[in-house]
Amino acid sequence: MIDVAITGAAGKMGKTLIQAIAESSALNLTAAIEPPGNPVIGADAGVLAGVGSNGILITDDLRAACESFDVLIDFTIAAATVSNAAICVSENRKMVIGTTGLSESECADLATAAESIPIVHASNFSVGVNVTFKLAEVAASILGNDVDIEITEAHHRHKVDAPSGTAVTLGEVVAAQLDRKLADVAVYGREGATGERDRNTIAFHSLRAGDIVGDHTVTFAGEGERIELTHRAQSRMNFAMGALKAVEFVSGQDSGMFDMQDVLGLKSINL
């Protein structure tokens, strides 16, 4: 059994992860963490997640909890994730990270941490989304510079960053195939007299409404035809199940930075 801790345990993804681990025969929840001052500190994590009492009381002390787990699953915010990674390095604990919206310096901090411990960091842990990444890569390599590329994403009204990390990853995958640097060609929404579209740009459009779990579409539009690759998530459980696959993968690694393409073996598939 792999002993697992969850930071952000009281959040939507945290609760879903607790539910998924409760059904797992390979993983065992041994710690649940929230920031100091959170009113759920001391509550039973299982009760909070709706799976019944599991005896794991939510704590605000990650360092003290390190004695009890092998892998930390972190779906929090950028600053917290970087701080948690520093603790995991000092305590030699492995990590699975789903936090998005990290700055370049924060990504660099995680890369430094990965020199000491293994980390799986992905913008999206869904198996289906990662297949979509692969299909977008193939489409871009075939269609080349003969199409306009637009990426649209939709999420619930509480999501705090835009575009989503998944949308950005789609853009990065496509840009890499076209020998473009995403930072140089990205366009975020349009307003006013924008002029004729530059074929080299990759545009992002974000919707925030209601309780949408997560929709992503990448459109390749040419003359007389277009291809649309769409993934729609109906439940957070598919993200959680992918994260558990990542835990099993990272538990067998000594150090290094990995993503879900590594976990699923998609990098070795040539379509």
Same-domain check for residues 240 and 229: no
Q: For residue range 177-231, what is the model confidence (pLDDT) as tens digits?
A: 999 999 999 999 999 999 999 999 999 999 999 999 999 999 999 999 999 999 9
The answer to whether the CB of 123 falls within 8 A of the CB of 170 is no
**pLDDT at residue number 100:** 85
Same-domain check for residues 141 and 183: yes
Q: For residue range 34-75, what is the model confidence (pLDDT) as tens digits?
A: 999 999 999 999 999 999 999 999 999 999 999 999 999 999
- CATH number where 208 lies: 3.30.360.10
Same-domain check for residues 209 and 102: no
Same-domain check for residues 9 and 110: yes
Same-domain check for residues 12 and 112: yes
Q: Which residue has the higher pLDDT, 152 or 269?
A: 152
**pLDDT at residue number 271:** 63
Calpha distance 183→224 (Å, rounded): 29
**pLDDT at residue number 124:** 86
Calpha distance 43→56 (Å, rounded): 8
Q: Is the pTM of this model over 0.85?
A: no
- Mean of all residue pLDDT scores within the chain: 94
Q: Which amino acid is at 239?
A: F
Task: Identify the active-site residue in 159, 181, 205, 245.
Answer: 159
Angle at 150 between CA 202 and CA 237, to 5 degrees: 110
Calpha distance 49→14 (Å, rounded): 8
Residue 122: pLDDT band (50, 70, 90) is: very high
**pLDDT at residue number 5:** 98
Task: Identify the active-site residue in 15, 94, 121, 155.
Answer: 155
Same-domain check for residues 174 and 244: no
The verdict on whether omega for the bond into residue 163 sits within 30 degrees of 0, i.e. cis, is: yes
Residue with tokens 């510079």: 145
Query: Six-digit token pair at 181?
Result: 């640097």
Same-domain check for residues 66 and 145: no
**pLDDT at residue number 54:** 94
Domain extent, residue 90, equals: 2-121+236-268
Q: Which residue has the higher pLDDT, 236 or 46?
A: 46
- CATH number where 46 lies: 3.40.50.720
Is residue 181 annotated as part of the catalytic site, yes or no?
no
Is residue 155 annotated as part of the catalytic site, yes or no?
yes
Sheet with 226-233, side-by-side order of all strands:
186-188, 202-208, 148-155, 214-221, 226-233
Query: Six-digit token pair at 218?
Result: 């990448």
